[in-house]
Amino acid sequence: MIQETKIALKNAGKIDPMSIDEYLNSGGFQGLKKAMHIEPVKIIEQVSDAGLRGRGGAGFPAGMKGRFTDEAICHYCGPKYLICNADEGEPGTYKDRVIMEQDPFLLIEGMLISALSIGAGKGYIYIRGEYTESIRKLKNAIDQCYKKGFLGKDCLGENLSFELELRYGAGSYLCGEELTLLESLEGKRGYPRIKPPFPAQKGLFGCPTLINNVETFAHVPYIIEQGPEHYKKFGTEKSPGTKIFTVSGDVKNPGYVETEMGVTLEQIIELCGGMKDSKPFYAALLGGAAGTFVNKEVLQTPMGFDTLKEKDAILGSGAVIVMNTERSIYDMMESILEFFKHESCGKCVPCRVGTNQLLIMFHQMVNQAKGDRAKMLEKMKQEAEYMAANSLCPLGSSPILPIGSISKYFKEDF
């Protein structure tokens, strides 16, 4: 049976997350100390060479993000910002909460190394306000880092300073999207921005800004300390490293596991004790509401950004919601469509009208005969495709993912 491999959660359950001394005794801040003797551009190169891809959902190369921000800075003389996106609002996802509650110092170390790489002097952790325990532990970690000299003036060497603050989200799912997050951080309403420009060129307060997810930052210290070649020993060629999967639904032991990328869906279910009550597997929703449904055909597919894409599925944030044969995919779909309608900010017409229209069409479909349901599903798919092509932000592009995957894998059930 496959075993867990831990990088982001290597200290989870082993140290007191409230004690910086325990973090230091476990080897904490060794990656930062090593980074302080490396040229900033070399830090970016090592992250790039390691093949680290963003763990927030999109899987964009983290090194490339750093390089774009660094290149923008070369032509800019103002401040630079570093932001950690901890506004974890995807249904079924809580991987970032686990990191923040069990090893908050690791996140801060990853941010410090990233700040060194681009020359940022100010950082923010934008966290959802409902994460009270995460907030408590991060506050404590930040305070202890200031007292120990890891944050503040001259914390990264002579004339190298880094200030770090917490900022709280107010429950908007849309603010987990990086450009909408920037609007919120600036004190504005959480409406999406039109891109380009991207944050690397024009981010917070119009300045070059590097934004990464909690789990992404948590991998940076390991890469710098151990080297990119060692990091690439884990996972697959195109998706190196490890990934935290949050597993819920019809498994014996719901929870979270950290494994090498490339693990199969079947192996993840095995790590969680197998199917609950030994009932047969029917479906899984990968990536949360903005994710894709898959059937048993995908059980043996390696869980990676590219391997799942080949199956018209996505890895997303790592949420895995497992369903047995007694579950209704109709109920799950209705919940997803209601979620999108509720969370649409209403700024653009395709999303504001489209999310409502999809829910209306779904309710009409449920009451139709089987042949007519398949036709309505196709109409819903067309509506979702129109939304994806014309909406301002990723929320409007999201409904096509679950609807399209149902059309691919479960059309015979409609």
pLDDT tens digits for 223-269? 999 999 999 999 999 999 999 999 999 999 999 999 999 999 999 99
Answer whether 43's CB lies under 8 Å from 113's CB: yes
Closest CA to 203 of 282, 120, 279: 120
CATH classification of the domain holding 382: 1.20.1440.230
Q: Does residue 236 form part of some domain?
A: no
Output the DSSP codes for 319-337.
EEEEEETTS-HHHHHHHHH
Domain end call among 324, 345, 366: 324
Sign of CA dihedral 214, 231, 120, 72: negative
**pLDDT tens, residue by residue, 323-350:** 999 999 999 999 999 999 999 988 899 9
ω into residue 197 within 30 of 0, thus cis?
yes
Of the three residues 296, 324, 352, the one that is the final residue of a domain is: 324
| Same domain (yes/no): 103, 157 | yes
Q: What's the number of domains the chain is made of?
A: 3
Phi, psi dihedral angles at 302 (to 5 degrees):
-60, 135
| pLDDT tens per residue across span 347-364 | 899 999 999 999 999 999
> Residue 303: inside a domain, yes or no?
yes
If residue 70 lies in a helix (H) or strand (E), which one and from where to where?
Answer: helix 62-73
Using CA atoms, how far apart are residues 53 and 47, in angstroms rounded to an integer?
9
Average pLDDT of span 265-284:
96
CA separation for the pair 97, 80 (Å, rounded): 27
In angstroms, the CA 344 to CA 354 distance is 10
Please give the average per-residue pLDDT across 14-38, as a whole number.
Answer: 95
Q: Are residues 83 and 154 in the same domain?
A: yes
Instruction: For residue 24, tell me if it sits in a domain.
Output: yes
Give yes or no for a contact between 319 and 246, defined as CB atoms under 8 angstroms apart: yes
Range of the domain at 270: 242-324
Boundary of a domain, candidates 268, 301, 324: 324
What average pLDDT does the structure give for the chain? 92
Same domain, 197 and 173: yes
Do 62 and 198 lie in one domain? The reply is yes
Report yes or no on 1 lying in a domain. no
Based on the number of CB atoms within 10 Å of its own CB, is 120 exposed (0-12), middle (13-18) or buried (19 or more)? buried
Same-domain pairing of 193 and 44? yes
Q: Are 203 and 196 in contact (CB under 8 A)?
A: no
